[in-house]
Structure 1
C-alpha cells in the first residue's frame, strides 16, 4: 500500500479513505457493568466512548507552539474519538495529553501526577501522537507512557477504599513494556507515598520480577497491591500467570474481601482466561486490604515512574463484577475493532525526501550498526527500501540483516545523527508519520531532517527542530 504522507489524516501513515460516520454503540463497557450491578465509578479512554450515551470530551491536548489547549471529543454519542480535530490542532507542532476525562460523571479526571515518596514531580505528560491506532477503521490515539510520564487523581469520588470490592480493566499495548516500576492503572494512595502492604490495588503490566512474576519471560498481568506485584497467592512465581504479548491486550484485576483475580485476553478476538482466582497473598498486610481510592496511570503508588507502556482505555467499578459481566465486557472490547481498518498496517517502499527529490539511503548498503543515513538518487535497491511496521519502526533489510532507523545514542537534541542499528524495541527507534508530511521521533519529538536542506547525494540525515521546511517532508511510497 502506498503511503502519501501529505494526504494522511492526522499522525497516521497512509492514504486514508474518509471513514464512515461512527455509529453509536448499543452498549459500552460501562453500560454492561451497570446492568451487572457493578457500575463504573471511573472510566478513561482516549479512543472511544465507554457508555452508549456518552457524547462529552475524552481528553485534552496542549500544543507546544502557543501552549493553547483543545478538548478532544467523540464523533457521535457512544462513538470513537475525533482524532482529526487533534491532527488539525497539532499540525506543524507537538502536542501532549494534559488531561484524561472521567466518563462516569464522578469527575475522576487524570492529570499530571504530583511528586511522591519515590520521585519528584509533577510528572511529564505523554505525547499526544506517539500511539496512533485504529478502531473499526476510525483513527485514534492511545496514551504512550515513557519513563517519567504519569497521571493521577488523589481526590476522587466513588473509588473503593479499605477492603471494599472493585473490578478494573485496561486495554494496553502488549508489545510496549519494560522491567521498571511501575506501569500501573488503578487504585493507589491519596498521599503519593508508600503506605504499606494492601494500600493499593492496580493493574500492572511489564516484566518486573523483584516481587512476583508468571510463566515464561513476560510481560505479565499482575496486581500491584503495594510493596508487591502479585501473580497469585504466593510472593514470587505463579506459573499459571502466562506471558501475555497480544498487540492489544485486555488486562483485568478484581478484588474483594480475601478474594481477588487476574483475567487476561486478546482485545482483538476471543474470550478471557482466568490466570488467578483465590485468596489474597499469604503475606501480612493484604487481608484485609487498606485501599485508599486514588487513581494512577503509568506510575506506582509512591510516584515510582521508571516504567513505560501504552494505555487505550480502562475503568474502575464499584463491586466485584461477575464472570458473565466480564465476559460481556471482553466481547464489547473485541467488537470495538482495535487495530482493524485504517492505515496503521505495515507498508514498504522508498522513503522519499520531498525537498531533494531523493531517497533515504543506507550508504553503500552498509551492514554496520551505527552507519549514519543519507539521501541519494532513488534506485529501488534494498538499501533504500523501508518498512513502517505496526510498532512504528522503520526497518530495512540489507544482505539478510534487518536494521531499524535509530536516533543515535537515544539523542533528543537537534543534530542527533539518524543511523541504522540493530532493532531493540526502544522509543528512539519509533517514528510517527504526521499529516503535514513530517516524520518525528517518538522519543524526541524532533523531525527527520536532511542536514542544511541539502539536495546533494550523500547529504546526511539527522534530527532537528520541526520548522516546516521542505527538507523535513517525506513520503513512503
Structure 2
C-alpha cells in the first residue's frame, strides 16, 4: 500500500487549491502527529502505530513474512490470534496463550493461572501469517537423537513492552519443526531473509541452535539444503575472532561466519538479547548481521558471495522450518528464542534497520541465561545439586545424581508440584520400579502419580518418600560428581540433608 505524501501540491486541472494558510496549518498538525506517533513507538508498552511491527515493515517493503513466530508479542499490528500452546505435564490438559490486545504482547497471566503449581511444556508455536506454518516438537532424525520435547513453559520470564512474558529456553533435547515443507518458504535457490531475537548469554558450541529454512524431513540431504540463522560459540571454520557467540549461517554441513566459512571480521554478539539476521539471494550472495536487541543498530558481519564449496552456489533449500535444532534434528545445543520471522525475497538494509529499531522499542529486559521460573534447586550433601545425568536430555530412566551446581543447567531446576512430586525437564524424580526397598536407586521418569514419585520435606532437612517411609540418600555420604542417589532408612545423617531452594 502506498503511503500518502505529507506535502500539499496543486491539484489537477479544475481542482480547488487549498489556501496557503490552511496548508500550513495542516502541515503543522501532521508534523505534530508524526512526532507523537514516533514517541509512542519508541516507548516500551505504548500502543504501536499501525504498520509498525516487523512483518508490517517487511510486507510494506515488498518482502512479506511467510512465517512469524513468537511467545512474546504479535509481529503484525493486526494479529489477534494465539501465540503458543502450553500443555500440563501431569494431566495433559492444554490451552493457547494469546495477546493482551491486538498487535500487542502475550497474556502471560493466562499461562500462570493454567500452569500454576505444576509444570507445562510449550507444545506448539503458532505462525502468525495466514500460511499456518506452526511449529511442534520435532521428530527423531538421522542425527541419532530421539524425538524433541517441548520447552518448559515457565522457565524464563522476562519483560517486553512493560509486560511479563516468557521466552523459549532451549536445552539439549528441546526443538521444534514444521511438518514437511512449509507454505511459501524458499526452495531451490529462491531468495529469502530471516531474523530472530535470541540470547547472547545462554549459548553453547554443540549443534545446533538454529531458526530458519531446513530440510523438509529431519535428515542431512547435502550442502546448501539449509538456510538458517544461528547464534552459538561454534567455530566450525577456523580461524575465528574471540570466543563468540557469533551470528552464523547454518547452510548445512557448516556454520558459516561469512565468506567461505571463516571470517575473522565477525567479532560476535554477546549482549543479553541479540538480534540475529541472515539473508540469502539463493544464487550468489548472502549477508549476516547482528545487533543488541536493547539498543543501537545492526552490524554487518558479512555481505558478499555465497561459499564456493560445492553445493552452496546456487542453494538447494527444501522449505522446512526448524527452531532450536539442526536440519537432521541435531539437538545438543542450548539457546533462548523470543521472536523471529522468515520472509520471501531479499530484504533491503533499510527494512532490516527498521525492524531492528522496532525490536529496540520493545524494551526487552531481564536475565536470559538462568532459569527464573517457579523452579528451584535441590541442594544436597557437599553443597552439590540434585542433577540428571546426560546434560539436560532427561530421557526416561536417566540416573539422578549429585553434581556441581550450574546456574544454567535446566535439569538442576525442579518444580515442587501440588501432588508432592518433584519435576524437571518435564519428568519426575522417581524410584526405579516404584520400589520401596532399601537402597533402591533414583531416576527421572514420566510423571504418573505413583508413590515412588512423592516427596515430603522433613523438619530435619531430609526428603522422605511416604510410600517406602525412606529418605533421599547419598550412599555412604559420598559427595563426588556423579554420585547416584537412592532411598535409604531415614537416619538424620548429613547424607540425607536436601534443601529445596
The structure 2 residue matched to 1:156, chosen from 170, 182, 193, is 182
Aligned to 1:335: 361
Relative to the length of structure 1, the TM-score reads 0.73
The CA distance in 2 between the partners of 1:104 and 1:247, in whole Å, is: 28
The answer to whether the Cα contact below 8 Å between 2:389 and 2:398 also exists between their aligned partners in 1 is no
The answer to whether the Cα contact below 8 Å between 1:58 and 1:103 also exists between their aligned partners in 2 is yes
Aligned to 2:89: 64
Kindly indicate whether residue 6 of structure 2 is the aligned counterpart of residue 23 of structure 1.
Answer: no
The CA distance in 2 between the partners of 1:334 and 1:433, in whole Å, is: 36
Task: Provide the secondary structure at the position in 1 that maps to 2:83.
Answer: strand
Kindly indicate whether residue 125 of structure 2 is the aligned counterpart of residue 100 of structure 1.
Answer: yes
Aligned length: 392
Task: Provide the secondary structure at the position in 2 that maps to 1:328.
Answer: helix
Give the C-alpha shift of residue 141 in structure 1: 0.8
Task: Provide the secondary structure at the position in 2 that maps to 1:44.
Answer: strand
Task: Provide the secondary structure at the position in 2 that maps to 1:274.
Answer: strand
The CA distance in 1 between the partners of 2:426 and 2:92, in whole Å, is: 18
The answer to whether the Cα contact below 8 Å between 1:372 and 1:417 also exists between their aligned partners in 2 is no
Give the C-alpha shift of residue 95 in structure 1: 0.5
The CA distance in 2 between the partners of 1:372 and 1:441, in whole Å, is: 22
The CA distance in 1 between the partners of 2:296 and 2:248, in whole Å, is: 21
Give the C-alpha shift of residue 82 in structure 1: 0.4
Which structure would you say has the larger RCO, counting Cα contacts within 8 Å and 6 or more residues apart? Answer: 1
Task: Provide the secondary structure at the position in 1 that maps to 2:315.
Answer: coil
Give the C-alpha shift of residue 181 in structure 1: 0.8
Cα-to-partner distance string for 1:150-186 (whole Å, 9 max, x where unaligned): 1111231110111111110000011111111111100
Residues 94 and 204 from structure 1, CA distance in 2 versus in 1: closer, same or farther, beyond 3 angstroms?
same
* Structure 2 spans left out of the alignment, 5+ residues: 1-43, 371-375, 430-452, 465-471, 474-484, 486-498
Residues 307 and 414 from structure 1, CA distance in 2 versus in 1: closer, same or farther, beyond 3 angstroms?
closer
Matches within 5 A, 1:13-412: 23-24=47-48, 26=50, 27-153=52-178, 154-211=180-237, 214-235=240-261, 237-256=262-281, 257-339=283-365, 371-372=381-382, 406-408=385-387
The structure 2 residue matched to 1:454, chosen from 450, 454, 458, is 458
Residues 415 and 179 from structure 1, CA distance in 2 versus in 1: closer, same or farther, beyond 3 angstroms?
closer
Residues 22 and 344 from structure 1, CA distance in 2 versus in 1: closer, same or farther, beyond 3 angstroms?
farther
Give the C-alpha shift of residue 307 in structure 1: 1.3
The answer to whether the Cα contact below 8 Å between 1:160 and 1:318 also exists between their aligned partners in 2 is yes
The CA distance in 2 between the partners of 1:57 and 1:409, in whole Å, is: 33
Give the C-alpha shift of residue 244 in structure 1: 1.6
RMSD: 3.6
Cα-to-partner distance string for 1:265-311 (whole Å, 9 max, x where unaligned): 00011100001110001211110111111000111111111111111
The CA distance in 1 between the partners of 2:357 and 2:152, in whole Å, is: 29
Give the C-alpha shift of residue 429 in structure 1: 5.1
**Structure in which a larger fraction of residues adopt strand:** 1
Cα-to-partner distance string for 1:413-472 (whole Å, 9 max, x where unaligned): 9996788x46564334557899x9x9987657769x99743234x5579899xxxxxxxx
The CA distance in 2 between the partners of 1:78 and 1:93, in whole Å, is: 30
Residues 112 and 293 from structure 1, CA distance in 2 versus in 1: closer, same or farther, beyond 3 angstroms?
same
Task: Provide the secondary structure at the position in 2 that maps to 1:332.
Answer: helix
Task: Provide the secondary structure at the position in 2 that maps to 1:334.
Answer: helix
Relative to the length of structure 2, the TM-score reads 0.70
Structure whose CA Rg is larger: 2
Aligned to 1:427: 410
Residues 475 and 63 from structure 1, CA distance in 2 versus in 1: closer, same or farther, beyond 3 angstroms?
same
Give the C-alpha shift of residue 124 in structure 1: 1.4
Residues 177 and 21 from structure 1, CA distance in 2 versus in 1: closer, same or farther, beyond 3 angstroms?
closer
